[in-house]
Structure 1
């Protein structure tokens, strides 16, 4: 038997429980991974709370939970040649990752660089692929000034750094407690909320040319007011803006395992910082999500198995 986070009704973090289930096994073309760390994401809580509009509401119960994981290959399916037992890997599998074992297609795994911490690897998949794809969608150059909202959060902190690597001037919205941290990354911090447009103009009197929205309509409206064209505003937090304004909504699906591997190498090299806000044991999964829902986290929250 093995442990798996499950839920059998929609609701808050308290619906999550640890279930004893039969160990899964790798089939043809698959690999089983013994999970060491698993990430948590805002999307997970939207699904188990019933708030998500991008997934069917008739979730089959009991449902697994979580996408991001890192661990060690411990079982190889027939036909798999690129992995061997003992390989250290990371990746993602929806509604499955918060478990002792996860079985995934061999082609979906990414090799964990030795210098990448297990905690960082365990929380990298969704946030990393989302940040990578959203930045690539804007074709940023040194001529750009880009606004990144929630710039200290799981997606935002990676996106802001990737945008800076493109040569762009990056302005990041965040709570005041995260401003010094953003400055240490070379990002110009700004407090969100009323008056944000005016505060951004103090940093960049000419306005902005692009935006990466990880927060919602406030960022989209501010970006438009600051001169960014709708087609150069990518929002993963306000998909209705696509119909209303013509913004884009490129997310994790826009990045490949190779892209995730490239990002993992950047993090391992110290070129991109991925802070770990908190690490919770798996039996405190409800507490971990309660902290996530509170907001204002710096970087990622992960579970240790």
Structure 2
């Protein structure tokens, strides 16, 4: 048995509960992991707040897509993307189901090795935001000498996108509240505050123009500014504006209706992301950590937009 978080109903965090669940022995191509940290993401909240539907047959609903921990058992033919997996291996698992738990059994294909010096919370918070950022940059073909505008750059995906764009040789203009400008400057971005007059402020700091715009917030301002500054709509992408994005002719990515999930891009990003995190060229910026029994508080923090960086649960 292990402890796991489930949503017992659809709505807000008051529907979250801790329950005891069985942990089966891993079957062919599976591994069991003792979870030491699991990442919290907006998609976790959307899975039970009604954004993805309210089918009662899915209840109680296990939550969590990414975790880090130690392998405790392996089934036959338990090979991951980097080769055979063994008991005692320190690993990152993504993309999985039910990561909010003390123990999980997952496909070996979802498991990669954790860089040795990476702390457990950082390892658990690396993959979903990192893979989403890689998808955004790949879909818009960000490369050397591009200037990229990132809306909502101080969130989990935004901080990853800034760093990965800089690693590709791009220049970055990043929107965020003023109190986050220092961190964005440290990461190599030119920060600007959002709000009225945003397009003019961006033009001022990027007189050569904007080649790519990435919308991570889904606001009218982000869409309108992107359309005003970027000539090629194939180089504008959103992971948040599922209502207006398609009509505007921009790329809509992620898990929303009609969006490109980019499963192959995101899966192939895992090993390079771990490599960058392992050599220190990519950092996971933690916003807050909570115990598994504090999951409702963690979701409220993320849902209210008060989490700057990654939120992680520690079972």
Aligned residues between the structures: 302
Q: Which of these residues, 138, 141, 148, is aligned with residue 139 of structure 1?
A: 141
- Give secondary structure in 2 for the equivalent of 1:177: helix
TM-score in terms of structure 1 length = 0.94
Question: Which residue of structure 1 aligns with residue 119 of structure 2?
Answer: 117
- Give secondary structure in 2 for the equivalent of 1:156: helix
Task: Tell me the CA shift for residue 256 of structure 1.
Answer: 4.3
Question: Which residue of structure 2 aligns with residue 20 of structure 1?
Answer: 20
How far apart in 1 are the matches of 2:266 and 2:184? 27
Question: Which residue of structure 2 aligns with residue 295 of structure 1?
Answer: 305
Q: Which of these residues, 190, 193, 214, is aligned with residue 192 of structure 2?
A: 190
Question: Which residue of structure 1 aligns with residue 211 of structure 2?
Answer: 209
- Give secondary structure in 1 for the equivalent of 2:313: strand
Question: Which residue of structure 2 aligns with residue 96 of structure 1?
Answer: 98
How far apart in 2 are the matches of 1:177 and 1:42? 22
How far apart in 1 are the matches of 2:215 and 2:232? 14
How far apart in 1 are the matches of 2:7 and 2:269? 32
Task: Tell me the CA shift for residue 56 of structure 1.
Answer: 4.2
* TM-align CA RMSD: 1.6
Question: Which residue of structure 2 aligns with residue 249 of structure 1?
Answer: 252
Task: Tell me the CA shift for residue 255 of structure 1.
Answer: 2.6
Q: 2:290 aligned with 1:280, yes or no?
A: yes
Task: Tell me the CA shift for residue 112 of structure 1.
Answer: 0.5
Structure 2: give runs of 5+ residues left out of the alignment.
Answer: 255-261
1:211 and 1:228 in contact (8 A); partners too? no
CA deviation vs aligned residue, 1:64-112 (integer Å, no higher than 9, x gap): 0111100111111122250110001112245400011111111121110
Structure 1: give runs of 5+ residues left out of the alignment.
Answer: none
Q: 2:34 aligned with 1:42, yes or no?
A: no
Task: Tell me the CA shift for residue 47 of structure 1.
Answer: 1.8
Task: Tell me the CA shift for residue 218 of structure 1.
Answer: 2.3
How far apart in 1 are the matches of 2:283 and 2:250? 28
- Give secondary structure in 2 for the equivalent of 1:131: helix
Task: Tell me the CA shift for residue 296 of structure 1.
Answer: 4.1
How far apart in 2 are the matches of 1:278 and 1:103? 26
How far apart in 2 are the matches of 1:3 and 1:141? 44
2:286 and 2:309 in contact (8 A); partners too? yes
Task: Tell me the CA shift for residue 125 of structure 1.
Answer: 2.2
CA deviation vs aligned residue, 1:138-192 (integer Å, no higher than 9, x gap): 2222331111111111111001111111111101111111001100111011111
Question: Which residue of structure 1 aligns with residue 55 of structure 2?
Answer: 58
TM-score in terms of structure 2 length = 0.91
How far apart in 2 are the matches of 1:117 and 1:139? 31
Q: Which moved more, 1:23-32 or 1:88-97?
A: 88-97
CA deviation vs aligned residue, 1:192-231 (integer Å, no higher than 9, x gap): 1222111111111243111111111421211111134211
How far apart in 2 are the matches of 1:79 and 1:140? 38
- Give secondary structure in 1 for the equivalent of 2:38: strand
How far apart in 1 are the matches of 2:95 and 2:170? 33
How far apart in 2 are the matches of 1:300 and 1:116? 15
Q: Which of these residues, 208, 225, 228, is aligned with residue 228 of structure 2?
A: 225
